[in-house]
Amino acid sequence: MIEAHGLTKVFRDRKRGEIRAVDRVSFRAQPGQIYGLLGANGAGKTTTLRMLATILQPTEGTARVAGYDVVEEPEQVRQHVGFLSTATALYGRLTAEEMVAYFGRLHGMEEATLRARIEELFATLEIHPFRDRRCDKLSTGMKQKVSIARTLVHDPPVMIFDEPTVGLDVMTARTIVGFIRDCRARGKTVIFSTHVMSEAEKLCDIIGIIHNGTLRAEGTLAELQQRYKETDLEEIFLRVVEQPA
């Protein structure tokens, strides 16, 4: 489970002063559920997810991920989380297989378990044809598949996807969407950020709309449609972000 309580992140800039990128955000995501964080670019989605993954430390508030506090127990959180975004980098000189194996060993996996897990992931993601190719020679879509395998190699119970389909071709995007659904079907807790309305409609059990760092609305698609008297998620989104904070 993911439980966020008053998550706040303040950045300080010499020219712009204090910037509240995330302001008192609270929500809960359950196992076997996809929680969608919907917002425009710069709304605070990525900053929120990076705090959940312990990449950033909250200025105020906290969160528990898989039962561990992101401030007090960051190492335990990392052991139970897979974090994927299009900005996730790969080590260019390693092959696809070496890359995934390296991260499996970082997570302390036994060698036999790791080898079996790599074979399973590479078959599912169709990585076998380029498993021995260096990461800096892979296409964008191939790199994202390797990133997925790297993220999932230790089979974490919590998955965080930060706009994972941005800039990808249709077929690779479909593969990633299928994997997100598979994570839900296997009982994982999934949080998924996007600014693509159609992805949110197809994937998310619960949708949270974030704008200017604050969570403005939350509910199932049906609940949001009833609340705002709109059937189209884009119209609901515009209603939410245009209303006074």
Question: 192-239: per-residue pLDDT in tens?
Answer: 998 888 889 989 999 999 999 999 999 999 999 999 999 999 999 999
| Token reading at 114 | 């790791």
Give the domains, in start order, of the chain with CATH numbers: 2-80+157-242 (3.40.50.300), 88-155 (no CATH)
Percent above pLDDT 70 for the chain? 99
3-state secondary structure of 80: coil
- Using 50, 70 and 90 to split pLDDT, how confident is the model at 245? low
Please state the rounded mean pLDDT for residues 48-66: 95
Distance CA 245, CA 15 (A): 25
Give every CB contact of residue 152 below 8 A, 6+ residues apart in sequence: 82, 121, 159, 179
CA–CA–CA angle 211, 35, 63 (5° rounding): 75
Is the pLDDT reported for residue 86 higher than 90?
no
Top pLDDT among 11 and 168 is at 11
Over pLDDT 90: what percentage of the chain?
72
pTM for this model (two decimals): 0.89
Rounded mean pLDDT of 52-74? 95
pLDDT of residue 141: 83
Alpha helices in the chain (DSSP H): 45-52, 74-79, 96-106, 111-125, 140-152, 170-185, 197-203, 221-228, 233-242
Q: What is the pLDDT at residue 5? A: 96
pLDDT score, position 112: 95
Q: Which residue has the higher pLDDT, 101 or 145?
A: 101
At 87-99, the pLDDT tens digits run 678 999 999 999 9
